[in-house]
Structure 1
Amino acid sequence: MNVVQSIQNIDLSTITWDYVYANDAAPLLEDIANSGNFTIKTQKGASTTPKTSLKSSELFKQGDDFLLELTINLTSKPQHVAIARSLIGIGYSSTQNSTSIASQINFGYDSPFSAPAINTYNNNTLIDLISTPNQIVITFIKTGNIFRTVIGNSNSLVTLSNNQGYSVFAQIVGHDLVSEEFAQVVQGQITKAFKFN
C-alpha cells in the first residue's frame, strides 16, 4: 500500500506527437494530433504490422507513478477484415517511433469478420466481440513497476522490469478496404493524466 500525498496534473497542451508510416502508406488528411487528442484514419491494404504509428512526447519520467486515462472512439467501424491487431497504449519514451510494436501495455482491437464488428483485448487477453463499437475508456495506473490496465470490467496486471520514461503509442494496421468510404477513423483523447507524489 502506498500513501499518496498529492497528485500533479500533466499539462496536456504541451504534448507533441510524431507520426511514422510504413513504406506502402502515406499521410492522410484525417491524421491529426494536437495536445491530448489524436485522429488516425486506417490505411488501405491489410497488413500484419502497423501501417501508421503515432508516438507522444514523454508524459511521465523515470520513477514516476501515475494514472493515465484515454477515451478511444471507434464509432466509425471498419467494414472489412483486419486480422492483425491495432494497439493503443504506453511504451518507453526511449523507443524510436517505427512500425514495430512499441507499447508495453495496451488496448488492442482487430476486425475478424467482413462486418462492422471488432474484437477487443486488454494486454493480449480477449475481452469481447463488439458488434457496435463506440467509446472505450482505458485507464493505466502505474505503481512502482506494476501496471494495472482497466478497460470496462476487465482488469490486467503487468510487471515491467525496466523503469523508464513513458509515452503513448497508437499503432494502427491497414484494412482490406474496397474503397476509402469504409475506412475506420480512430479518435483518441487523453482525458486524465497525473502523477502521484
Structure 2
Amino acid sequence: IRRLFSLIERDGKALKNEEDKQIMERWLTRVRKITTAYTAAMFPILGLFLASPAIPKVLDFIKPLNETRALIYLYETEYFVDQDAYYVPILIHTYMTVPLSVGSIVFFDNMLGTFIHHACAMLEILRFGQIKFSFVGDKMLKFFNFFSNYLQRIHLDAEIKRIDNPVRLDRIRKNIIRCIHMHQNSLE
C-alpha cells in the first residue's frame, strides 16, 4: 500500500500542465464522493445489523408473549459451549469483531476505489493530454492514427517530411518516451 501511495504521489508531482491537474482533480473529487457515500451507507447498515439482537427484547417489552422469544445471534459460529447460557459473552465478542471486520472491508474497498480512479485519471490524461502530433504527410497520419488518442498535445508544428532539425526530432522522441512511461506507470 505504501508503494502505491508513493506512485500516486510521484504521478501527482509529475503533472505540469494545468489541464492535466484539472483532470486529476475531477477524478479525485469523484472518488471522494463515492468513498464518502459508500462509507456513509456501510456504517449505518452496520449499526442496524448490530442492533438486531435487541429485537426480541424490544418486542418482549412492546408485545409480550407467554413464552420466551428466540435469541438472535449476529452470525452462526461454534464456540463449543451452550450458546444460550453464554449469550452475552458471545454477543460482546461479536460486537467487538464485526465492526473491525466491516471497518477493514470499507477501508480496503475505499483504497481500491482510490487506486482505480487514480489509474483512470492517468489514462485520461494520456488520452487527452500529453502529446499532439500535427503531421502533414498522409502516410504518417495513417501510421500515427493508432497513437492519436495518446499522443495529442505535443504542440509541435513539425512536418514529418522535413524533420531535419535534431532538436525538434529529439523533442518528439522524448515526448513519446514520456507518454510511454506514463502509460506503464498507470498500469503499475
Structure number with greater CO (CA < 8 Å, separation at least 6) is 1
Tell me if TM exceeds 0.5. Answer: no
TM-score range (shorter-chain normalised) is: under 0.3
TM-score (norm 1): 0.19
Please tell me whether Structure 1 or Structure 2 has the larger radius of gyration of its CA atoms. Answer: 2
TM-score (norm 2): 0.20
More strand by share: 1
